[in-house]
Structure 1
Amino acid sequence: MVDTARARKIADRIKEVIAANLTQVIKDPDLGFVTITDVRVTGDLQHASVFYTVFGDEAQHATTTELLASHLGRMRSLVGKQLGIRLTPTLEFLPDALPESATAIEDLLREAKEKDAQVAATRTGATYAGDADPYKKPDSEDADGADA
């Protein structure tokens, strides 16, 4: 039986432990500005996926990814000591795709706004293709009923 509330609590605790102790465990000056964004633990509490973002360029992302991978055992040991549960979950550091997704959505919204502005600009001097009032109106004679 899966206890999702317990898994959420453990995930929150893992997030706090890693975020608070990341710079103490990895004492490398090349470690970028890392933010732990989310932790997801499986229902059996055997595996934890740790999502992170790095502030910087692609080289900083690559260096930080390598450092996190090389210190994975030390991070798991720290988490195990801090959690105090029988089995320490295995850790997996995954780069969070949220910033890239947010940037893509912002680009799409900006593009849509520009297209709306273009449509509004072309509409300002536009005239009707046919008559201004496309509906047929009855003739004055038909309206009086004189043709009957």
Structure 2
Amino acid sequence: MVDPARARKLAKRIGTIVATAIDHEIKDPRLAYVTVTDTKVTNDLHDATVYYTVMGADLDTPPDLESAAAGLEKAKGVLRSKVGAGTGVRFTPTLTFVADTVPDTARHMEELLARTRAADDAVARAAAGAAHAGDADPYKAPRDDQDDEGDDASDALGDGR
């Protein structure tokens, strides 16, 4: 069993090597807007999963996930060679590339929060002019006339004392 700290260090090193190679050494235009976000390595150090995101050329252009995935699949052998040379481990891990869904999940959460804020604002507007359904003070103070008559309470129980 491998030390988990060693696996984390190796994962970080693999992510750095892959990101640098994509940025500087691989000349595939499909990988121009690919960003490595995270890397995970199995406990036996034989498999590495590299998570990536793809940005569009500008804000109006949607990202081309299919061509980026094809470009990464084509460059997988070269990237694995770079990882083997850069890490110096006995067995170079196989690389698997997975599109990162964290940005989409974050965007979805932001949309849910915006809807919740809008619903809260609508409830606040409706409550602004509303009045209480019952008394203004639902916690009324006890009446003083019942406290003075202690013997009526025993008669109410019906035991006749």
TM beyond 0.5:
yes
CA distance in 2, matches of 1:145, 1:24: 92
Aligned to 1:48: 48
Identify if the C-alpha distance between structure 1 residues 16 and 59 changes in structure 2 by more than 3 Å, giving closer, same or farther.
closer
Could you tell me whether the CA contact under 8 Å between 1:14 and 1:79 is conserved in 2? Answer: yes
CA distance in 2, matches of 1:109, 1:49: 31
Range with bigger deviation, 86-95 or 21-30: 21-30
Give matches, 1:1-148, under 5 Å.
1-56=1-56, 60-136=64-140, 142=145
Change (3 A) 1:59 1:96: closer
> % of aligned pairs identical?
45
> Matched residue of 1:30: which SS?
helix
Q: CA offset at residue 83 of structure 1?
A: 1.4
Relative to the length of structure 1, the TM-score reads 0.86
- Which AA in structure 2 matches 1:72? K
What's the CA shift for 1:112?
Answer: 1.1
| Equivalent AA in structure 1 for residue 71 of structure 2 | L
Unaligned runs of 5+ in 1: none
Q: CA RMSD in A?
A: 2.3
Higher Cα Rg, which structure: 2
Residues 18, 143 of structure 1: alpha-carbon distance in 2 compared, 3 angstrom cutoff: same
TM-score, normalization: structure 2? 0.79
State the AA in 1 paired with 2:3.
Answer: D
Q: C-alpha displacement at 1:135, in angstroms? A: 4.6
Cα–Cα, structure 1 residues 133 and 22, in superposed 2: closer, same or farther, change >3 Å? same
- For residue 107 of structure 2, what is the amino acid of its counterpart? T
Cα pair 1:25 1:75 within 8 Å, conserved: no
The verdict on how the C-alpha distance between 1:26 and 1:145 changes in structure 2, with shifts beyond 3 A counting, is same
The gaps in structure 2 that reach 5 residues or longer are 153-161
Deviation at 1:144, TM superposition (A): 9.7
